[in-house]
Structure 1
Amino acid sequence: MPSLDPELKKAIVRMPAGEKDKLLLRLITKDPLLTERLQFELIEGSTTTNERRDAIKQFIDRTAKLKQDSAGWVMMDMRTASGYISRHVKVTKDKYGDVELSLYLLNTFYDHHMETLRHYGSRTDKAAQYIAKRTEQMLKKLTKLDPDYFIEFEGDVNRLLPRVHNSCAAYYARQLTIPQRWSA
């Protein structure tokens, strides 16, 4: 991002408040993510984090229940849900929610699509790689949280890890040295 010329900065600061407000409002509307973040912080008072998480969980549930006939379609649905999680984190700065929702996403899709994701093959390769990488990212983010939270995630993580190691993602899980068991 280019820096502003110091003289331009001074000129902007000297602008009348009304003109600055109009300019600011025009600029904010050009960035939907910034608009949503300001809505969350200024209007919602940063108090709707749990409601936003619940909405994403409901989306994950609806999406995971769709009947997919290939691992490629399952992966596409997972990536769509991951996009919602990423947007949530950018808007709310919710690191706990990032781990919780990622873990929920992986476990929920395994709950509904284990047969599709069971065996490795050319049709499951990309999904396998995606699942292993997503699991690795989630574990890295989990270790960065306050250790007091670990106990809350231990059961779900240890439900996920055997699934990853006993499905199409096993090869990539070994490659990424994803543990078979995790303890708080």
Structure 2
Amino acid sequence: MSLHKQPELKDAVLNLPQKEKDKLLVRLVSKDKMLMKQLHFQLLENKDDLEDRIENLKESIHDLFSANRHSIKNIPQYSNYRELQALLRQGSGLINEHEKVTKDKYSEMECRIFLLKEAFEQFPRLFEASAVHAAFKLQLYVKARLKTTAGKFDKLHEDLQFDLSDDMQQVLDFAQTQHLM
């Protein structure tokens, strides 16, 4: 239930003594992990910490691919398509969490492009045309990621676009050659 639908409760909370409000705030914040991460970032971290977060995120994405390099082969088979799609979803989840915590659009784009580029470079054959249903699902997923990434890229300031343009162009070129766009 929303606090806005109960104005008398909202007024009662606002009229509590400061010490009581502080206790309630700490209890409520501790129940929401995402809110805790957001507050930690906003209140306790600085620009250097953001750069560390970005590097750690890129390293996590790279480690995802490295750790699964032996289980996913660059061979068009059902299991490889499924595992790569799961890997891309996991990487997207890491990026989504990073964006929710930091609200940094540039690093979000940088990491989304990095994720797609890693997948395209390491598993190019899995993006070729195939009659396997899992390949079709992977391609649909990647098409949606490409569309989202391209849309967000276009909304970035032109100076930020310039910094990412080479990598974005590589991703788009590969996608066009594989008819993913």
TM-score, normalised on structure 1?
Answer: 0.86
Matches within 5 A, 1:22-171: 22-45=23-46, 47-65=48-66, 66-67=68-69, 68-69=72-73, 70-122=80-132, 123-167=134-178, 170=179
- Report the alpha carbon displacement of residue 38 of structure 1 after superposing the two structures with TM: 0.4
Query: Among the aligned pairs, what percent are the same residue?
Result: 29
Instruction: Structure 1 unaligned segments of length 5 or more: list them.
Output: 174-184
- Alpha carbons 1:81, 1:105 under 8 Å: kept: yes
Q: 1:127 to 1:47 in 2, by over 3 A?
A: same
After TM superposition, the runs of 4+ consecutive aligned structure 1 residues lying more than 6 A away are none
Asked if structure 2 preserves the Cα contact closer than 8 Å seen for 1:120 and 1:128, the reply is no
1:9 maps to which residue? 10
After TM superposition, give the deviation of residue 49 of structure 1 in Å: 1.5
Q: Which runs of 5+ in 2 are unaligned?
A: 74-79
TM-score (norm: length of structure 2): 0.87
* 10 and 90 in structure 1: CA distance in 2 versus 1, 3 angstrom threshold: same
> Over the residues paired in the alignment, what is the CA RMSD in angstroms?
1.6
Give CA deviations for 1:56-100 in whole Å, capped at 9, x if unaligned: 111111112223141110010011010010011111001111111
1:92-115 deviation digits (Å, cap 9, x = unpaired):
001111111100000011111112
- 1:120 Cα shift? 2.8
